C-alpha cells in the first residue's frame, strides 16, 4: 500500500529517510573520528551536509556525466573513458564539502567522506528509484 502512492510523495519520503540515515552516519563518523564536542557543535551543519550529499551531489554528478558523455565521444577512441571520472569527481566534491562545512583537518575529512560515500552507495543500491529520479545513473 505504501508503494502505490503518488511518485512525488514517495520521492519526498525516500529523500527524508535517506537524509536522516546519512545524518546519523555522519554524526557517528564525526563522533568517532573527530570528537564528541565537534559533533554536538556542528549538528545543523551535519544535517545540511547530509541533505547536500543525498540531493544535490547526485544531480551535479548526473550533469557532469551528461557533459562527459557528449565530450567523450572521440571518433578514434574505442570507448568513453571520460565518464569513468565521475565517481572520482563525486568523491572529491564530498571531501571538500566535509572539509570546509564541518571544519575538520584533511585526514579526518577523508575518512568521514569515505564512510559517507559508502553509506550513500548502499542507499542508492537499496533504493534505486531515488537515484534514477535524480538522473544519477552510470
Using alpha carbons only, what angle is made at residue 8 by residues 4 and 9, rounded to the nearest 5 degrees?
A: 65
Per-residue pLDDT averaged across 53-72, rounded?
86
Residue 123 within a domain: yes
- Structurally, the chain folds into a number of domains equal to 1
For the record, the C-alpha cell of 119 comes out as 553509506
Q: Is 6 inside a domain boundary?
A: no
Domain with 56, as residue range(s), is 14-134
* 50 in a structural domain: yes
Q: Is the pLDDT of residue 48 over 90?
A: yes
Please check whether residue 55 lies inside any domain of the structure: yes
DSSP string of 96-128, one letter each residue: HHHHHHHT--HHHHHHHHHHHHHHHHHHHHH-H
CA–CA dist 42, 38 (Å, integer): 6
State the Cα–Cα distance between residues 115 and 81, nearest whole angstrom: 26
Nearest in space to 57 (alpha carbons), one of 129, 126, 124: 124
Q: Which of 47-51, 71-75, 79-83, 134-138 has the highest mean pLDDT?
A: 47-51
pTM, rounded to two decimals: 0.77
Give a yes or no: residue 3 inside a domain: no
pLDDT score recorded for residue 83:
80
CA distance 87 to 110: 15
Q: Does 8 fall in a domain?
A: no
Distance, in Å, from the CA atom of 87 to the CA atom of 77, rounded to the nearest integer, reads 21
Report the C-alpha gap between 120 and 103 in whole angstroms. Answer: 21
User: What are the pLDDT digits (tens) for 103-119?
Assistant: 999 999 999 999 888 87
Residue 2 lies in a domain: no
In a domain, 76, yes or no: yes
- Mean predicted lDDT score pLDDT of the chain: 82
Amino acid at each position: 500500500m505504501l508503494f502505490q502512492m503518488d511518485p512525488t510523495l514517495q520521492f519526498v519520503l525516500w529523500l527524508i529517510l535517506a537524509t536522516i540515515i546519512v545524518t546519523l552516519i555522519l554524526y557517528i563518523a564525526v563522533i568517532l573520528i573527530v570528537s564528541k564536542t565537534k559533533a554536538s557543535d556542528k549538528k545543523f551543519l551535519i544535517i545540511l551536509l547530509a541533505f547536500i550529499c543525498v540531493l544535490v551531489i547526485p544531480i551535479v554528478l548526473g550533469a557532469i556525466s551528461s557533459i562527459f558523455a557528449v565530450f567523450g565521444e572521440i571518433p578514434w577512441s574505442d570507448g568513453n573513458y571520460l565518464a569513468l571520472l565521475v565517481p572520482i569527481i563525486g568523491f572529491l566534491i564530498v571531501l571538500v564539502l566535509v572539509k570546509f562545512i564541518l571544519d575538520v583537518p584533511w585526514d579526518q575529512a577523508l575518512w568521514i567522506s569515505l564512510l559517507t560515500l559508502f553509506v550513500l552507495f548502499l542507499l542508492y543500491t537499496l533504493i534505486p528509484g531515488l537515484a534514477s529520479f535524480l538522473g544519477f545513473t552510470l
